[in-house]
Structures are given as C-alpha cells and as structure tokens.
C-alpha cells in the first residue's frame, strides 16, 4: 500500500512537471507565433515600401526620359534659335529706325514754318455778277424741282384715293365672294352626288339589262322545249330523258319530304313519351318497375318490384372482340 502511494505521488509529481513543461512550451509557442506575426507584418510593410520605391523609381525614370527628350529637342532647335536671334536683332534695328522716322515726320507736321505746310486749291474765284447769275440758275432749278414735286404729290394723292376706293370695294365684295364660293361648293357637291347616283343607276340598269337578256334567253329555251314536247306528243313519241329524270327528282324530293315529316312526327311522339311525370326530359330507355303476379284468386294488378328489381345486363361493348369465347366442356356421366 505504501509503495502504491509512493508510485502515485511520483506519478502526480511527473504529471505536474509535465504540465508545467507543457505550459512553458505553450508560452514559448505563443511567443514564437507572435514573433512570426510581427515578422509577417514587417515583411508586408517592407513589400509595401519596396512597391512604393519601385513606383517612385519608375516615375523618376519617366521624368529622366522626358528631360532627355527635352534636351534633345532643345539641341535640335539651337541652330534655329541662333537664326531667330539674328532676325530679332535686325527687326529691332528696323523698329528703332521706324520710330525715329515717325518722330521726324511728327516734328515736320507740327512745325508751322515748314515748307509744303499749306496746299492751295486749284481754280478761280467767281465775280459778283457770275455768282448772282449762278444763284438765279439754282433758284430756277429749285423752282422746277418744287413744281415737279407738287405734281408728284398730286398724283400720289389721286392714286391713294383710287386705291382706297378699290380697297373698300374689294372689302365689300369679300362677303359676296364668300357667299358665291359657298354656293359653288354646294352646287359641286350636288353635282357629285347626282353623278354618283347616275353611275349607280347606270350600273343597276346594266345589271337589269343583263338579267332581262338571260331571262329572255331562258324564255326562248323554255318555249323551244315546250314546242318540242308538244310536237313529240302529237307524233305519239315519248318525252325526253331529261323530263323523266326531272320527274323522278320531283318524286324523290316528295318522298324525302314525307320521310322527313314522318321522322319529325316520330321524334315528337318519342319526346312526349320520354317526358316524365315530374316534367323531366330523359333519353334513357324505359324499364319496368312493376309486374303482374300470376296467381289464382288475385286480381291482375301491377305490383312494384321494390328493392329486388330484375337485373338488366348492358349491351356488350366493342372490347368483347378481344375476349375469347368459352369452350363448353361436355358433361361426363
């Protein structure tokens, strides 16, 4: 018992030690996991920074390429720049010369004592008599112009008066023209309707004429037929086969009409027979619901079957052809 107790205590101690070691190992594992997470985070941050730096490098490379292109273009444009600079210097010199020339011309224009300052007009001055004569001529021309203007004003007044009169007449005649236009429209409508009626009557008349021609033809045929029949009767000959066939058709029609009347009357009688006492129409076959007892000493009065009515088998259907007839076996005695 003591040994078992010692073994138990040793086992418990080992278990405790192993548990402590397990806890320590778990702590170490958790620490390692944390370190792994930190390393992964650092790795991701490094990759992000590397990506950013790569983007910056690519952008800088693009800038360098752009600068190289600009330098190359500038080097190509350098000879043209020198030529343009020379042309600019020449143009500046010409501009300064032009400004100096403008200033000189302004000074000459402002100077009142300069030559060619005033320009004398050509021609000669008129004398007083010539001026009076010229003035009289101008007054005469003005009087003529005023006279023509008065004539034109008078003509204008006359024309305006006439136009006003014509305008008033046209305004007064507008109602008459409207009334006449309405009348003309009415007449045209009536003419159109009458022409349509005439066309319809002509078409109807042509149809009637065609019908009369056909009827006259039929009458002539009938007259010829009657004449031929009379001539055959007078000669003692039989009539045509067509008349015989027509007569047979008439007899057949009469017979069919008589049969139809008989069938209709038969259907009417059957309908009356199928009408039940409770005003219900039925097409079912009437079956006996009573019997007359065959007994001595009783009156022959019908007696109802009650619940034990005789069974009436139905007619065999079309599927009976698929059923084999039974073979009647002989009875052995």
pLDDT class of 196 with cuts at 50, 70, 90: very high
Tokens 């330098």 belong to: 71
Range with the lowest mean pLDDT among 114-118, 231-235, 326-330?
Answer: 114-118
Who contacts 111 (Cβ-Cβ below 8 Å, separation ≥6)?
A: 117
Distances (CA, A) of 4 to 1, 9, 64: 5, 9, 87
261-273 pLDDT tens trace: 999 998 888 877 7
Is residue 283 over pLDDT 80?
no
Is residue 119 over pLDDT 70?
no
SS3 231: helix
Please tell me the distance from the alpha carbon of residue 248 to that of residue 254, in angstroms, as a whole number: 10
Q: What does the DSSP 8-state code read for residue 304?
A: E
Please tell me the distance from the alpha carbon of residue 188 to that of residue 208, in angstroms, as a whole number: 30
Question: Based on C-alpha coordinates, what's the Rg of the chain?
Answer: 71
Tokens 């305006």 belong to: 160
Is residue 66 over pLDDT 70?
yes
Please tell me the distance from the alpha carbon of residue 257 to that of residue 251, in angstroms, as a whole number: 10
- Whole-prediction pTM value? 0.27
pLDDT class of 60 with cuts at 50, 70, 90: very high
**Considering Cα of 295, then 298, then 299, then 303, what sign does the dihedral take?**
negative
Return the number of other C-beta atoms located less than 10 Å from residue 220's C-beta: 10
Nearest to 270 by CA among 256, 258, 285: 285
Instruction: Output the average pLDDT for the chain.
Output: 84
Nearest to 303 by CA among 315, 289, 284, 324: 289
Q: What is the DSSP string of 101-137?
A: HHHHHHHHHH-TTSTT-S-PPPS----HHHHHHHHHH
Distances (CA, A) of 313 to 307, 310, 316, 317: 17, 10, 9, 12
304 touches 289 (CB < 8 A): yes
Return the number of other C-beta atoms located less than 10 Å from residue 156's C-beta: 10
pLDDT class of 333 with cuts at 50, 70, 90: low
Query: What is the token pair recorded at 180?
Result: 């006449």
Please tell me the distance from the alpha carbon of residue 229 to that of residue 247, in angstroms, as a whole number: 14
Please tell me the distance from the alpha carbon of residue 300 to that of residue 294, in angstroms, as a whole number: 8
Q: Is 274 exposed, middle or buried (0-12, 13-18, 19+ CB in 10 A)?
A: middle
279 touches 265 (CB < 8 A): no
Q: Which residues of 89-100 are buried (b: 16+ CB within 10 A; e: fewer)?
A: eeeeeeeeeeee
């Amino acid at each position: 018992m003591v040994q078992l107790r010692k073994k138990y205590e040793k086992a418990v101690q080992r278990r405790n030690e192993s548990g402590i070691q397990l806890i320590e190992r778990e702590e170490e594992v958790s620490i390692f996991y944390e370190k792994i997470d930190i390393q992964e985070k650092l790795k991701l941050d490094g990759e992000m920074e590397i990506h950013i730096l790569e983007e910056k490098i690519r952008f800088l490379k693009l800038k360098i390429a752009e600068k190289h292109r600009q330098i190359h273009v500038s080097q190509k444009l350098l000879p043209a720049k020198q030529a343009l600079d020379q042309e600019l210097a020449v143009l500046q010199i010409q501009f300064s010369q032009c400004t100096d020339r403008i200033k000189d011309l302004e000074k000459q224009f402002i100077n009142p004592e300069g030559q060619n300052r005033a320009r004398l007009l050509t021609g000669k001055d008129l004398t007083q008599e010539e001026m009076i004569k010229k003035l009289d001529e101008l007054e005469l021309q003005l009087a003529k112009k005023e006279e023509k203007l008065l004539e034109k004003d008078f003509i204008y007044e006359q024309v305006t008066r006439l136009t006003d009169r014509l305008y008033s007449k046209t305004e007064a005649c507008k109602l008459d023209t409207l009334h006449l236009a309405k009348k003309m429209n009415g007449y045209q409508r009536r003419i159109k309707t009458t022409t349509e009626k005439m066309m319809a009557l002509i078409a109807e008349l042509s149809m009637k004429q065609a019908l009369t021609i056909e009827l006259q033809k039929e009458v002539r045929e009938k007259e010829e037929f009657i004449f031929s029949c009379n001539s055959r009767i007078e000669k003692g000959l039989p009539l045509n086969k067509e008349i015989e066939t027509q007569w047979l058709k008439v007899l057949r029609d009469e017979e069919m009409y008589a049969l139809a009347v008989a069938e209709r009357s038969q259907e009417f009688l059957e309908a009356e027979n199928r009408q039940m006492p409770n005003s219900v129409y039925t097409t079912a076959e009437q079956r006996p619901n009573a019997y007359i007892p065959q007994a001595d000493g009783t009156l022959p009065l019908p007696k109802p079957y009650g619940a034990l009515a005789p069974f009436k088998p139905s007619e065999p259907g079309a599927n009976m052809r698929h059923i084999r007839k039974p073979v009647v076996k002989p009875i052995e005695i």
